[in-house]
């Protein structure tokens, strides 16, 4: 297990290096002079003076050789120093730290909702003996995947905020303000989880070990939930990891629709103001979040199927 973990950490460290390098290249790949672009986006249409351009160029280190800039950027990234926001003047990391709690709270509610709903629909659709109910639940999963997040968010605001004033339509105040954006994020993910888990669960229930266990008098509930569901969860775990990463991107849409102040809104504002220091910091932060998420998914997968850590092909576990 320790060797497997070390291999995963080394590979993920390489991915993080690529993310940091892409963040550095972001400024240099922009068409035109990045200093002029950043100043033009934050001076209210006024023309930047040569002195302002020279000062910003020196602050960002853009007046040094490219190799020296890259090494300095790597060193600063390791310490979390991405410079100051052009728009607000505060450190970029501090801007992210102030916006992160709102987004993390949203994700912390949306992910359990998507898991609970997805697993419940998949298990009910697979184990029910009523074909009509099974088809209806399967159709519900397809509907969840098909609905665009922004459209679902608008529907929820219309129904549960305007017509039935149960939840606030916008803002970050209190737990009630999390409910509608969390549902907006959770529904498409729950639909995908239900689809994948339903297919793998149907396959697992057709395996000989399930028939044998039932023939020996084992409880159907125990066989279905302890053995079949655990084996069926293997492909679903990978999907959950991908969807959780998608939730990070989907949070941007939810925060815009529901007027929440979070990382997504910070990124959109930074792009609008051409605030490249904040954008660079966000690229590295989101990349690091994906890396940690993938590591957790790998560890969960290896726990569900220990043969992964032994280097053998993953397969059915009983």
Rounded CA gap, 263 and 13, in Å? 23
Q: Where are the domains of the chain?
A: 2-79, 92-308
Q: Is 167 helix (H, G, I), strand (E, B) or coil?
A: coil
Instruction: pLDDT band for 317, please (50, 70, 90 cuts).
Output: very low
CA distance 293 to 167: 31
Q: Are 63 and 55 in contact (CB under 8 A)?
A: no
Residue-level pLDDT at 289: 84
Average of per-residue pLDDT across 65-90: 85
Mean local confidence (pLDDT), 109-122: 91
pLDDT > 60? residue 314: no
End-to-end, the C-alpha distance of the chain in Å comes to 20
Q: How would residue 315 be classed by pLDDT, with cut points 50, 70 and 90? A: very low
Percent helix, strand, coil in the chain (nearest 5)? 75, 0, 20
Residue 81 scores a pLDDT above 70: yes
Confidence bin at 12 (pLDDT 50/70/90): confident
**Encoded tokens for 251:** 């949070």
Average pLDDT over residues 120-140: 86
- The per-residue pLDDT for 40 is 64
Q: Identify the three-state secondary structure at position 84.
A: strand
pLDDT band at 249, cuts 50/70/90?
confident
Pairwise CA distance, residues 141 & 247, whole Å:
17
**pLDDT per position as a tens digit, 178-207:** 999 999 999 999 999 999 888 888 888 888
- Closest among 106, 83, 104, 102 to 94, alpha carbons compared: 83
* Burial grade of 281 (CB within 10 A; 0-12, 13-18, 19 or more): buried
Predicted pLDDT at 318: 39
Q: For domain 92-308, give the CATH number.
A: 1.10.3720.10
The answer for residues whose C-beta is within 8 angstroms of residue 313's C-beta and 6 or more apart is: 307
Over 70: is that where the pLDDT of 32 sits? no
* Distance in angstroms (rounded) separating the CA atoms of residues 111 and 118: 10
Q: What is the mean pLDDT of the chain?
A: 82
At 155, the pLDDT band (50, 70, 90 cuts) reads: very high
Spatial neighbors of 71 by CB under 8 A, at least 6 apart, are: none
* ∠ CA 61-63-69, rounded to 5°: 45
Measured from the Cβ of residue 216, the count of other Cβ atoms closer than 10 Å reads 8
pLDDT of residue 37: 65
Using one digit for the tens of pLDDT, what is the confidence trace for 13-22? 888 888 889 8
Spatial separation of the C-alpha atoms in residues 132 and 134, rounded to whole Å? 5
Query: What pLDDT does residue 42 have?
Result: 59
């Amino acid at each position: 297990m320790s060797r497997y973990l070390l291999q995963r950490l080394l590979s993920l460290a390489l991915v993080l290096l690529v993310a940091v390098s892409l963040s550095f290249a972001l400024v240099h790949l922009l068409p035109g002079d990045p200093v002029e672009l950043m100043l033009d986006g934050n001076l209210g249409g006024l023309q930047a003076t040569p002195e302002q351009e020279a000062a910003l160029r020196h602050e960002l280190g853009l007046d040094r050789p490219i190799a020296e800039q890259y090494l300095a950027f790597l060193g600063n990234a390791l310490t979390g120093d991405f410079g100051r926001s052009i728009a607000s003047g505060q450190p970029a990391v501090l801007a992210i730290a102030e916006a992160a709690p709102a987004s993390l709270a949203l994700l912390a509610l949306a992910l359990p909702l998507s898991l609970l709903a997805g697993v419940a629909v998949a298990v009910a659709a697979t184990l029910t003996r009523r074909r009509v109910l099974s088809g209806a639940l399967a159709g519900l999963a397809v509907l969840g995947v098909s609905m665009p997040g922004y459209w679902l968010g608008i529907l929820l605001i219309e129904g549960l905020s305007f017509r039935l004033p149960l939840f606030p339509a916008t803002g970050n105040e209190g737990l009630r303000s999390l409910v509608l954006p969390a549902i907006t994020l959770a529904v498409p993910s729950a639909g995908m989880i239900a689809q994948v888990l339903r297919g793998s669960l149907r396959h697992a229930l057709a395996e000989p070990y399930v028939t044998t266990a039932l023939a020996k008098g084992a409880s159907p509930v125990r066989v279905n939930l302890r053995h079949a569901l655990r084996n069926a969860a293997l492909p679903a775990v990978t999907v959950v990891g991908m969807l959780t990463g998608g939730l990070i991107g989907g949070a941007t849409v939810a925060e815009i629709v529901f007027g929440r102040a979070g990382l997504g809104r910070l990124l959109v504002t930074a792009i609008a103001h051409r605030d490249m220091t904040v954008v660079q910091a966000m690229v590295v932060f989101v990349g690091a979040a994906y890396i940690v998420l993938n590591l957790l998914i790998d560890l969960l997968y290896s726990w569900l199927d220990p043969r992964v850590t032994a280097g053998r092909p993953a397969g059915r576990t009983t």
